[in-house]
Structure 1
Amino acid sequence: MVKLTVSTHKLFGYGGTQRTAKRLAEQAVTLVDRSVPGRMPDLQITLTAPRGMAELATAAEVELTGGEVDKRIQARALREANRHARDAAARAIPLASGGVLVLVNIDHHANPAQFAVTLVHELVHAMQFSRKGVRERIVTDLRDGLGVEKQSRRQAREHLRLLEQEEREAYGVEYLANQLVPAAAA
């Protein structure tokens, strides 16, 4: 059984949104688990604003690499994450504990239908993380990006190629969100 938690980070007055997100997430987990190859890991879904998204993503990535990241590089990673967070609707990050953290930028979701599409997309990524070699490849790329351990150019190219393939798969399954939206109105 998948352990699912839905919370907010640095958001106030979003109790109704959080309840809707929890209802949608419970149904989306079941739907994606049946439709996409892999094993659904434990999930922590956090609704937040762009700044909170950058903070949580950077902290999770540093923890995933083993925590031995230079403070200057960590600060640079946070600045870069802040730039990307303004444009990103959500992000899925594997956790050191084996679960997945799904950060949702609440500013990009005007209604439950948009949230459902984003949620399905990110849950597909969570399923992908459970596949053989994917988590290790992501950790290797992160360790390279954060200056902990270099990876070869070949590894970097292969990572980018597989990342594009995984994105295409996630976009290709977004149609499943159509089955969730009526549940959000309930």
Structure 2
Amino acid sequence: MRFITHRIGRQYQATADRVHAGVDAAIAIVEKSARGRVGSLEVAVTNTAGMWETVVAAHEPLFGRRKSKEWRRNEGSPFGTTTVTSVGVLVVINAQTCRGRTVEIDKTLLHEITHAVQFNRPGARDLLMRSLSNNYGLTAMTTAEAAAANRQVDTDEREAERMERHHRQLAKSLA
């Protein structure tokens, strides 16, 4: 596991420290509950703007794209995001949104690591790669393929949201 900080000022250091301290325990909780493995993992802590820069930089070797405006993202400031990289999975935690919210840091870490496990399941990485390739405008998905990908995203999100309930267990392991 590789830990990265990007665009982190002093005001976000406590968030970065909490993520760094909790990542191994969160992995253990998620792998046990989700019955899967995280695999090769990078964890980055950054601010809102840095989130999308980090994701796009991770995608460049995969898709040859560097323009952040091509990355279709949710509006607002999410707590975190997870994506595939050329060597595994990247979890990005938004220190700006999580700042001073220990419970949210823990929930976000569990949520995003759940996605890392999901992306290592058979066929999941290929489906995500096709979906991202579609989002970057490189290869189009059929309507049926896009619908199937969206259903999988919804299923994965529900599982990741359920995993957040383990935040007290994570906090206890860090006490």
TM-score, with length taken from structure 2: 0.89
% identical aligned pairs:
27
Counterpart Cα distance in 1 of 2:77 and 2:13: 24
Aligned with residue 93 of structure 1, among 83, 87, 90 = 83
Count matched residues.
173
Residue 15 of structure 1: how far off its partner (Å): 4.3
State the match for 2:94 in structure 1: 105
Q: Tell me, which stretches of 5 or more residues in structure 1 are unaligned? A: none
Deviations 1:115-137 (A, max 9, x none): 00000000100000011111100
Aligned with residue 9 of structure 2, among 9, 12, 22 = 12
SS in 1 for 2:109: helix
Equivalences for residues 1-186 of structure 1 within 5 A: 4-13=1-10, 14-65=12-63, 67=64, 69=65, 74-78=67-71, 80-81=72-73, 84=74, 86-97=76-87, 99-109=88-98, 110-184=100-174, 186=175
| 2:2 partner amino acid | T
Counterpart Cα distance in 2 of 1:95 and 1:75: 16
CA RMSD of aligned residues (A): 1.8
Is the Cα–Cα contact under 8 Å of residues 64 and 94 in structure 1 kept in the other structure?
A: no
Q: Tell me, which stretches of 5 or more residues in structure 2 are unaligned? A: none
Is the Cα–Cα contact under 8 Å of residues 40 and 130 in structure 1 kept in the other structure?
A: yes
Residue 92 of structure 1: how far off its partner (Å): 0.5
Change in CA separation of 1:75 and 1:87 when aligned onto 2, cut-off 3 Å:
closer
Counterpart Cα distance in 2 of 1:85 and 1:106: 17
Change in CA separation of 1:55 and 1:9 when aligned onto 2, cut-off 3 Å:
same
TM-score, with length taken from structure 1: 0.84
Counterpart Cα distance in 1 of 2:21 and 2:51: 22
Counterpart Cα distance in 1 of 2:108 and 2:162: 12
Counterpart Cα distance in 1 of 2:115 and 2:155: 11
| 1:76 partner amino acid | K
Counterpart Cα distance in 1 of 2:143 and 2:35: 29
